Amino acid sequence: MSPFTPTDRTRVKRRPQRAVYDRAQVYSILDEGYVCHVGFVVEGRPVVIPTAYGRAGDQIYIHGSAASRMLRSLAEGIDVCVTVTLVDGVVLGRSAFHTSMNYRSVVIFGNARLVTEREEKLEALRSFTNHVIPGRWEEVRQPTDQELAATTALALPLEEVSAKVRTGGPIDDEEDYAFPVWAGVVAVRAVTGEVTPDGHVLPGIPVFDAARLKRFAR
């Protein structure tokens, strides 16, 4: 896969050594994340909305109620900025100034496209469902025409994109190494918890295997 070409908006200027334009690495961050933040301006005011998403090839899909102000606004083709951030660790420096986090983040600029064809809308919902729970789309009931009509799906092409990644320990000043405080990295991991049925599971249905959520088993 060819790397992303930096633009004036996506070129990382602060700590450029942390910039990532490699497409495969960017996609791996997007595929591991659950929630994106969608930023746009409506009626002269900035708005940032968190929402789930799914990736299919070189675009991401977001969806929601046809009554959603965010989706109605983005469907008009206004500029949008979408971000995804994963926190991998808390970095404890010997000074407050060098206390930090290890992270992987992606920033996407562009204009969303309203998905109108039925088959692509189904593909958008499939990618979203299987992004959250791999293989779930193939297990559950498919959407009815009424449910599809009540759902808006938008596609955002992955064209103007960059990532930024921080790894490693604190970068302390030389004179601070003698300061008597612990320094290093505390890993941050999301893990699954107890699997609780909803009370209407049919007899004989096996308990959902939380190991399918592989992103929690890093």
Let me know if residue 9 belongs to a domain. Answer: no
Let me know if residue 11 belongs to a domain. Answer: no
Distances (CA, A) of 9 to 13, 62, 82, 109: 10, 22, 13, 8
Does 153 have pLDDT greater than 90? Answer: yes
Does 218 have pLDDT greater than 70? Answer: no
At a CB cut-off of 8 Å and minimum separation 6, what does 173 contact?
95, 98
Give the other-Cβ count within 10 Å of 171's Cβ. 9
CA angle, 24 then 82 then 89, to 5°: 65
Averaged pLDDT of the chain:
93
- Helix (H), strand (E) at residue 83: strand 79-92
Does 16 have pLDDT greater than 90? Answer: no
Q: Which has more confidence, 1 or 103?
A: 103
What is the span of the domain harbouring residue 180? 16-217
Let me know if residue 196 belongs to a domain. Answer: yes
Give the CATH number of the domain where residue 61 resides. 2.30.110.10
At a CB cut-off of 8 Å and minimum separation 6, what does 213 contact?
133, 134, 192
Residue with tokens 């030389």: 174
Give the other-Cβ count within 10 Å of 118's Cβ. 10
Q: What's the confidence (pLDDT) of residue 211?
A: 87
Let me know if residue 1 belongs to a domain. Answer: no
In tens, the pLDDT along 163-210 reads: 999 999 999 999 999 999 999 999 999 888 899 999 899 999 999 998
Let me know if residue 8 belongs to a domain. Answer: no
Q: Nearest CA to 89 among 2, 165, 176, 200? A: 165
DSSP state of 13: -
In tens, the pLDDT along 125-148 reads: 999 999 999 999 999 999 999 999
Q: What's the confidence (pLDDT) of residue 191?
A: 87
SS3 (DSSP) at 213: coil
In tens, the pLDDT along 49-98 reads: 999 999 999 999 999 988 888 899 999 999 999 999 999 999 999 999 99
Let me know if residue 23 belongs to a domain. Answer: yes
Does 32 have pLDDT greater than 60? Answer: yes
- C-alpha 110/C-alpha 77 separation (Å) is 9
Domain count, the chain: 1
